[in-house]
Structure 1
Amino acid sequence: MIDRRLYLPDTSWCQDGERRTRAGVPGHVEFSTKPTLAGQMITSALDAGIDASWVTGDEAYGQDPGLRALLESRRVGYVLAVACSTRVRINQGRVAVRADTIAEHLLPSAWHRQSVGAGAKGPRYYDWAWIEISADRHRHLLIRRNPNSDELAFYLCWSPRRVPLSELVRVAGTRWCIEESFQAAKGQVGLDHYQVRHWTAWHRHITLAMLARAFLAVLTADATPTRTAQPNRHPRSTDPIDLTTPEIRHLLGALLNPPSTSPPRLLHWSTWRRRHQATARRSHYRRRLADPATG
């Protein structure tokens, strides 16, 4: 997390002058939709030199044409979720068809099973199809199908250069990172544990929580060993999982407060816990890899 914006509802906040004054909301702040706020943060990050090749988000952002136009103007690719009722143009733009109607008429050969990355219980497999919706092959409708429930999800995609299906699938899968980041920030550093009533107080709390989360993220990255790629090597049964953000926060809390046990014993317990977590993860992976359809 590198930026934040406070969403103020139009009627209950932005048009209530007395309430704005009591909360210290600056006079220049006007109502902005969430996609508009996202566009502001993306623009600020790009202008600050942050290197980003892709943007991904849920339907609230994918349905906004203004955000999509902004990303295209900045030459940043996107994979944004949209509703099943979204109409896209096919046959060189001559026909506008609902996304779910297109999915109904796809041949079995159009679907490709790919993993969007490793989850807590193994690789997350879905069936994917993509349809070109522009002559330059830079714009696609991406469709994801759950192999167990046949539930469908739809994405509008654009990239400044041609990319393979696997790249769009990879970007779509990174949306889980967003949810995981929010969960970690709420659970580990109290992102949502505030009772503030003032504009400045909210920004102070959120900024400090983001800083604490960044601190833990850096410690986690530094504690992760650099491994040489060995595709045929399997972790030993005694190998613990890498230190996670919750584990590092637990260790810091125990060390910074007067510990009831010695640091060596504390680290021993941490290793024991992570070895058992590794055992559970290997079991999940073996079961998931034995039958990718359950991914």
Structure 2
Amino acid sequence: MSAGPGAEGERLYDWAAARLPSVWEFDGDEPTRQRWMLARRSISRPDEIAYYLACAPLEATVADLVRVAGCRWKIEECFQSAKNECGLGHYEVRRYVGWYRHITLAVLAHIFLAAMAVQGHEKGVIRPTHPTSWTSPRRNSAVCWQLDPAAVLHHAHTR
């Protein structure tokens, strides 16, 4: 099955899935979720196997689990973008509350940048080449949003 499109086409793997038994302490008498163990094996390198634990709705299929497992890279790109552009990884705190506040503000800043990028793209201010990354004043790579802050501010003030 395919884990979704990649840079070089569909990412095809061998997959194995097994339902795990319900746990009464977590699920009660009538579970609303099903736990799964999922294994992904590379076709070209069969000795490389990745394992996943999943908790999904009762009606979820193996194809659904494979599709969600294939989204892992998009999520990792999003976190990397938040680390680079919003300081998600730059915290020096000693307590959970301080860490939680920092992470919350960094994620909110990332959401704000995403919303501004979408608005800028709709208005033609931003040239999109990759939806999960935004540039800082210095250009890191050619695969990121090119945001012109002056143009965004101009559009915000002319509304």
TM-score surpassing 0.5?
yes
Partner of 1:246: 133
The answer on whether the counterparts of 1:223 and 1:243 sit within 8 Å (CA) in structure 2 is no
Residues 1:184 and 2:78 are matched in the alignment: no
What pairs up with 1:147-162 in 2 under 5 angstroms?
A: 147-150=43-46, 151-162=48-59
**Residue 149 of structure 2 is aligned with which of 239, 255, 273?**
255
Indicate the SS of the match to 1:208: helix
For 2:119 and 2:43, the matched residues in 1 are separated by: 37
**TM-score by structure 2 length?**
0.58
Q: CA deviation at 1:145?
A: 0.5
Structure with higher RCO (Cα < 8 A, 6+ apart): 1
Q: CA deviation at 1:124?
A: 2.1
For 1:244 and 1:139, the matched residues in 2 are separated by: 32
**Residue 128 of structure 1 is aligned with which of 7, 12, 15?**
15
For 1:213 and 1:158, the matched residues in 2 are separated by: 27
Residues 1:193 and 2:87 are matched in the alignment: no
**Residue 167 of structure 1 is aligned with which of 54, 64, 70?**
64
Indicate the SS of the match to 1:128: strand
For 1:158 and 1:193, the matched residues in 2 are separated by: 31
- Number of residue-to-residue matches in the alignment: 127
Q: CA deviation at 1:204?
A: 4.3
Residues 1:143 and 2:39 are matched in the alignment: yes
Q: CA deviation at 1:202?
A: 4.2
**Which structure's residues are more often helix, by fraction?**
1
Partner of 2:104: 207
Higher gyration radius (CA):
1
The structure-2 alpha-carbon separation of the partners of 1:125 and 1:220, relative to structure 1 and needing over 3 Å to count, comes to farther
Indicate the SS of the match to 1:246: coil
For 1:117 and 1:155, the matched residues in 2 are separated by: 16
Partner of 1:6: none
Percent identical residues: 42
Residue identity in the other structure for 1:178: I
The structure-2 alpha-carbon separation of the partners of 1:167 and 1:203, relative to structure 1 and needing over 3 Å to count, comes to closer
For 2:101 and 2:53, the matched residues in 1 are separated by: 36
The structure-2 alpha-carbon separation of the partners of 1:249 and 1:133, relative to structure 1 and needing over 3 Å to count, comes to same
Q: Which runs of 5+ in 2 are unaligned?
A: 22-33, 138-145, 152-159
What pairs up with 1:55-134 in 2 under 5 angstroms?
A: 114-132=1-19
Q: Which runs of 5+ in 1 are unaligned?
A: 1-113, 226-239, 257-262, 264-295
Indicate the SS of the match to 2:88: coil
Q: CA deviation at 1:140?
A: 4.2
**Which structure's residues are more often strand, by fraction?**
2
For 1:177 and 1:217, the matched residues in 2 are separated by: 14
RMSD between aligned residues: 3.5
